[in-house]
Amino acid sequence: MGEISVSDNKQWMTDRVSDSSWIQEFDSDPSEKEKCYINVAYPYPSGAMHIGHGRTYIVPDCIARFWRMRGRQVLYPMAFHVTGSPVIGISKRIARGDEKTVALYRDLYKVPPDIIDSFSDPLAIVEYFSDEYQRVMQRMGLSIDWRRRFTTIIPQYSKFIEWQYHHLYNQGRVVKGAHPVKYCPHCENPVGDHDLLEGDKADIIRFIFVNFEADDFQIPCATLRPETIYGVTNLWINPGVMYVRALVDGKFQLLSREAADKLSMQKHEVSITGELNGAALVGSMVSHPLCGSVRILPADFVDPDMGSGIVMSVPAHAPYDYIALLDLQKSGKYTDIFPIPLIEVQGYGEVPAMEAVNRAGVDHQLDPKMDQVTQEVYAAEFSRGKLLPICGEHAGKPVRVAREDLAEVMEREYGSIWFFDFDTHPVVCRCGSRAYVYILDDQWFLTYSDPEWKREVHHEIEKITFVPPEVRTEFDRTVDWLKDWACTRRVGLGTRLPWDQNWLIEPLSDSTVYMAYYTIAHQIGDIPAESLTPEVFDYIFLGRGDPQGLDRATLDTLRSEFLYWYPYDFRFSAKDLISNHLTFQLFHHRALFPDELQPKGMVVFGMGLLDGAKMSSSKGNVFLLDDAAEEFGEDTVRMFLVGSAEPWQDFDWRSDLVSSTRKQIDRFIGYIHESKKATGTNRIDAWLASRLQRRIVVATESLEYFQTRQALQEAFFGIESDLKWYRRRLPANMPGGSILQDLADVWVRLLAPIIPFTCDKLFGELGHGGPVSYAEWPEPNPGLIDPEIELAEELITRTVEDIESIQKIIPFTPSKVMLILAPSWKLEVFRRVATAEDRRMVTKELMKDEAMRKRGKEAANAIQQATKLIHGLPPGLVADICSLSFDEEVIFSEAASFLEEEFSVTIEIISAEESTHAKAGMALPFKPAIIVK
RNA sequence: GCGAGUGUUACCGAGAGGCCAAAGGUGAUCGACUCAAGAUCGAUUCCCGUAGGGGUUCGCAGGUUCGACUCCUGCCACUCGCACCA
């Protein structure tokens, strides 16, 4: 009767969610109230939401609900990021019937078949899942203002992005440059690491070609160490490889076919004119102005797929070259070639490569230690090496300087070009084709490398509130580390660059200031995009100019709405976005908005695990939020997600723990229902009331600091455990006083941000009108905090624990417990010891007292005992014992019947002075001597 | 490899110089209720102990201190990021 079970509650939730007033309950407009604007990184709706996403949106929801109850005007908006190319790939795969993709959408995301068919249109995917996201978010009770929903490809938003880039361009923050990218010639598109089948860890390395002159052509050798040209003794060519002659940028060159292919991808004119076997060149002479004539020697280790396929040999400093030369010379050939040292490095003799090889005991090229030896020599020379006199004008320079200088000389004087390649092979596109390094030469960049811009962002970071505070250093490091960012793409969905329509603005670059767009999103949806000129946005966001084509009243409304909400108070996101999105948005805000509108705070989330394993849609290791809500209930899912770990910690979804969360909610409902029957008063009511005030204080502070777990610990488990003790202390068969009704009233509000559905229903049952979402957050009543009664109760609990621990080890069933209370002079000792500046001097001090001295050894013992006791007590408790008044005799007399019942014994309370028991001397303040019989 | 972080008792997770054998939750065991199961409630859950005590623990190895889970050094393991990708 009147009890709601979980299943009833579920019906309630369903009703509540389909009730449209619930949906509009959180539409939020400027008001006289203080505002609180929080927002989250919006989702890319290419698939269904899982519990990891769930937490990302539920945590801010709890915070939003908390501040709303505290009287703030809260804005929590949501939109969908639709820019980019992933859905294009997905729709192509679905269109061609790729089984893995279709299975993912059909089986895991449970998309109906006819809808999957429509997914050959990429827009259909994002539209479907945007609606799905909204549906599930509403189901979960997220307190979002849905009027402000948009996607990033609507014309109005594009106009907003145009405004943003218009400014960035004028500020010189968007510049054109060449940029090497991983590229798939088959897809005719740059490929990101996630697009790769193999080689996703491969780095792009920049080599320089050193051109050696042969009879009627050049032989380029790729190197990272152009300074070693002074020590070249020969070239290596693979005699078993067919090389090509090619016209490269108008010059005849000989190189491997692979190298020719690669060069053609790197903005070089390459036409192949013939072939030549490597063996045919062995023994011939080539020359370079900086090293003179050298011979071409055969080497099987030369890989045509590395560099140009021909290698310049510096045996004095390159262990591979040294060993290869040695091998040849063992058979008596080329014994006239000697290593030519050009670098001196501390810790090595004249020929570092030889030394390192000998030291490592390497005697042939295939030794696995070779890579390590090479690394060692390179590192030593790079960090400590200096060029020798043989290097002419570069003599004496550190290697790291000479390297750059010589590269420049090569480029300028000797026609060298840069050559890009991967550090590891192979690199294969998802389509199965080999990927190459490709030079995009008209790519647009955001100049994040600009030192002045970085400096300004660092300055903002100093002022921002970070949760948790440790992430601040990570932001600073990211700012330092950022280079220019290629901000445009050829393919995908998005906004075109206003001044260069061939390019689209890339997804991470069109999502940096949309928090400002939210503030007006619901009001500009009806304005034709053509009217939304940069001047209009200047007026709205910067309060500048006199735009035509839109009436002033509208403009002023938009302007004031923006100014009401901005700057935002907190942005929430998972920690993996620190190194790009979260930092980018600081850069953009800094570039576009004045000081007073800069971001104020950021909350960074941990990651989600599912039964201890990382969640991953592609591996099928996900649990959909919708399914979770179905199986466990919305509030259970919410409570688990915000309560199992603090937001910034990783959380692990484990079904067994989730089930017990559900029981906890049921228990809570039970307590609230029981409270309705409570009437009258009891002695311990004041204690419960006092504790409750403290719970309110801690729960409130916790939520202010985004500690959802801590808040739940206090607001649920803390109150529950108080309640358990309270009921234990109630006289037998008493139902509990009307204090329980007050507690219920507070409790329901405290948990409302976390489990809103349950609390909303209970709130109504408790006789309140209106949704709990807008109920007042409980204020602690200082008048109800009663330290003395809490102290008295503390004495009881400690004594109960002591009796229990004695009872546990005695081998008989007790029938009587004697409590021997310490005499009042011991309390005096306790207090004086506790408050003494120097505890070692206490004995002396106390013994000055005539009354003490009369007690002699007894007093000295008491001082020692008290010192030990104080040492083992929490400092706060010691302070209370010193400052508050309490009468142990009264406290125990009042608790006697409780103790008798609790232990099924008779209780005798006696003061130490009256007792002759041997233990009577053990009695101390707050620690009576206990005798169990 | 580089950058940022983390490592606590069966598990998850508090604790940040003496309050600590270390909160809370989960699981497990025992007991109460019940015809029974479930739910709920109570107790126990590092080792020893016929008295509220003692012993060994907080990734590993050292160090500072009267005293370290807490501070310092080194090592090991794990997580996140490392770029054009949401």
Judge whether residue A848 contacts strand B, using its CB and a 7 Å cut-off.
no
How many whole angstroms separate alpha carbon A314 and alpha carbon A353?
9
Give residue A2's pLDDT.
32
A719: in domain? no
Q: Can you give the distance from the CA of residue A675 to the C1' of nucleotide B14 in angstroms?
A: 30
Task: Specify if A721 maps to a domain.
Answer: no
Q: Is residue A899 part of a domain?
A: yes
Q: Count of CB atoms within 10 A of residue A98's CB?
A: 14
A831-846 burial, b at 16+ Cβ within 10 Å, e below that, comes to bbbbebeeeeebbeeb
Whole-Å CA distances, A368 to A82, A309, A320, A725, A798: 49, 22, 12, 69, 68
For residue A10, pLDDT beyond 60:
no
Strand B: which residues 805-824 of A lie within 7 A (CB)? 805-806, 808-811
pLDDT for position A4: 41
Residue type, A295: R
Residues 6 or more apart whose Cβ sits within 8 Å of residue A131: none
Written as one string, the DSSP assignment of A117-151 is: HHTTSHHHHHHHHHHHHHHHHHHTT----GGG--B
- Give the residue from A521, A491, A560 showing the smallest Cα distance to A160: A521
How far is residue A926 CA from its own chain's centroid? 48
What DSSP line would sit under A807-873, residue for residue?
A: HHH-SS---EEEEEEPPHHHHHHHHHHHH-SSGGGHHHHHHTSHHHHHHTHHHHHHHHHHHHHHHHS
The DSSP bridge partners found for residue A387 are A343
Find the range with the poorest average confidence among A398-412, A513-527, A735-749, A823-837. A823-837
Q: Is residue A86 part of a domain?
A: no
Instruction: Note the pLDDT of residue A21.
Output: 61
Assign A903 to helix, strand or coil: helix
Q: From the CA of A667, how many Å to the C1' of B56?
A: 39
Q: Give the rounded distance of the alpha carbon of A746 from its chain centre.
A: 34
Residue A528 has pLDDT above 90, yes or no: yes
Nearest nucleotide to the CA of A491, by C1', is B84
Give which of A211, A239, A240, A213 is closest to A226, Cα–Cα: A211
Give the residue with minimal CA–C1' separation from B18: A871
- DSSP letter at A718 equals I
pLDDT at position A1, please? 25
- Smallest CA–C1' separation from A819: which nucleotide? B52
Q: Which three-class secondary structure state does DSSP give residue A784? A: helix
Query: Which comes out higher in pLDDT, residue A365 or A334?
Result: A334
- Is the pLDDT at A480 greater than 50? The verdict is yes
User: Length of chain A, please?
Assistant: 933
Residues 346-405 of chain A with CB under 7 A from strand B are: none
| Strand B neighbours among A 758-777, CB < 7 A | none
pLDDT for res A561 = 96
Determine whether the distance from the CB of A6 to the nearest atom of strand B is below 7 Å. Answer: no
Task: Lowest mean pLDDT of A121-135, A361-375, A696-710, name the range.
Answer: A361-375
pLDDT at A20 exceeding the cut of 70:
no
Return the closest nucleotide (C1') to the Cα of A670.
B40
In this prediction, residue A922 carries a pLDDT of: 81
The boundaries of the domain holding residue A850 are: 806-932
Domain limit, last residue, from A423, A454, A485: A423
Half-sphere exposure of A85 (CA within 13 A, CB side): 16
Number of domains observed in the structure of chain A: 2
Confidence of residue A602 (pLDDT cuts 50, 70, 90): very high
Q: What is the CATH number of the domain that holds A322?
A: 3.90.740.10
N- to C-terminal Cα separation, chain A = 47
Q: Is the C-beta atom of A605 closer than 7 angstroms to strand B?
A: no
Distant-in-sequence, close-in-space partners of A187: CB < 8 Å, separation ≥ 6: A429, A431, A433
Is the C-beta of residue A459 closer than 7 Å to nucleic acid chain B? no
pLDDT at A839 over 70: no
In which band, very low, low, confident or very high, does the pLDDT at A6 lie, cut at 50, 70 and 90? Answer: very low
Sheet holding A500-505, edge to edge: A488-489, A500-505, A496-497
CA distance A296 to A313: 10
- Cβ of A273 near strand B (under 7 Å)? The reply is no
A837 pLDDT more than 70 = no
Write down the mean pLDDT value for chain A: 88
Higher pLDDT, A862 or A414: A414
Assess whether the previous peptide bond of A528 is cis (omega < 30° from 0): no
Q: Which of A423, A450, A477 is the last residue of a domain?
A: A423
Residue A456's pLDDT band (cuts 50, 70, 90):
very high
A677-720 pLDDT per residue, tens: 888 888 889 999 999 999 999 999 999 999 999 999 999 999 99
Residue pLDDT, tens place only, A150-194: 999 999 999 999 999 999 999 999 999 888 888 888 877 788 777
Give me the DSSP letters along A574-605: EGGGIIIIIHHHHHHHHHHS-GGGS--EEEEE
- Mean pLDDT is highest, among A193-202, A257-266, A670-679, A921-930, for A257-266
Using 50, 70 and 90 to split pLDDT, how confident is the model at A645? confident
- The mean pLDDT of A91-111, rounded to a whole number, is 90
Tokens representing residue A927 in the block: 């620690």
Burial of residue A785 (CB within 10 Å: 0-12, 13-18, 19+) is: middle
Least confident of A374-388, A595-609, A849-863, A914-928: A849-863
Contact A706, A63 (CB under 8 A): yes
| Residue A547 φ then ψ, to 5° | -70, 145
**Nearest CA-CA partner of A519 in A564, A554, A551:** A564
For residue A423, give every residue at least 6 positions away whose Cβ sits within 8 Å of its Cβ, in sequence order, or none: A202, A203, A204, A205
Please report how the helices A86-95 and A122-139 are oriented relative to each other, as an axis angle in degrees rounded to 10.
Answer: 110
Strand B contacted by A709 CB (< 7 A)? yes
Give CA–CA dist A41/A81, Å, rounded. 9
Residue A235 CA and nucleotide B32 C1' are separated, in Å, by 90
The CA–C1' separation of A506 and B85, in angstroms, is: 10
Residue A873, Cα to own-chain centre: how many angstroms? Answer: 39
Angle at A423 between CA A417 and CA A425, to 5 degrees: 115
pLDDT at position A840 is 62
User: Where is A387: in which H helix or E strand?
Assistant: strand A386-387
d(C-alpha A622, C-alpha A625), whole Å: 9
Strand B nucleotides with an atom less than 7 Å from a protein beta carbon: 3-6, 12-14, 18-20, 23-27, 39-44, 49-53, 79-86
Average pLDDT over residues A642-647: 89
Between CA A28 and CA A873 the distance in angstroms is 50
Pick left, alpha or beta for residue A56 (phi over 0 → left; psi -120 to 50 → alpha; otherwise beta).
alpha
Beta carbon of A893 within 7 Å of strand B? Answer: no
Q: Which nucleotide is nearest to A193 (CA to C1')?
A: B85
pLDDT tens-digit series, residues A187-226: 777 887 777 777 777 788 889 999 999 988 999 999 989 9
Top mean-pLDDT range of A24-33, A71-80, A655-664, A858-867 = A71-80
Q: For residue A341, tell me if it sits in a domain.
A: yes
A233: in domain: yes
What percentage of chain A exceeds 70 in pLDDT? 96
Whether the per-residue pLDDT at A7 is higher than 60: the answer is: no
- The mean pLDDT value for A551-570 works out to 95
Q: Which nucleotide is nearest to A41 (CA to C1')?
A: B86
* Rounded Cα gap, residues A800 and A927, in angstroms: 11
In the predicted model, what is the mean pLDDT of residues A633-659? 89
Indicate if the pLDDT at residue A130 is higher than 90: yes
Q: Cβ of residue A581 near strand B, that is under 7 Å?
A: yes
Determine whether the distance from the CB of A656 to the nearest atom of strand B is below 7 Å.
yes
Of the listed ranges A64-68, A541-545, A768-772, the one predicted with least confidence: A768-772
Q: Does A454 contact strand B, using a CB cutoff of 7 Å? A: no
Residue A724 lies in a domain: no
Mean pLDDT of all residues in A274-291: 94
A 479-498: CB within 7 Å of strand B = 481-487, 489, 492
User: Among the three residues A423, A443, A459, which one is the final residue of a domain in this structure?
Assistant: A423
For residue A243, pLDDT beyond 80: yes
Mean pLDDT of A454-483: 92
**Nearest nucleotide by C1' position to the A801 CA atom:** B52
Nucleotide nearest to A932 (CA to C1'): B51
The arithmetic mean of pLDDT across residues A283-294, rounded, is: 93
Highest mean pLDDT among A469-483, A507-521, A542-556: A507-521
> Residue A74: enclosing H or E segment and its boundaries?
strand A73-75
A656, closest nucleotide (Cα–C1'): B26
Nearest nucleotide to A87, CA against C1' atoms: B86
List pLDDT tens digits, range A796-832.
888 888 888 888 778 777 888 888 888 888 888 888 8
A697 phi, psi to nearest 5 deg: -60, -50
Over residues A23-39, mean pLDDT: 92
Residue A300 covered by a domain:
yes
Q: What percentage of residues in chain A have a pLDDT greater than 90?
A: 53
pLDDT at A310: 95
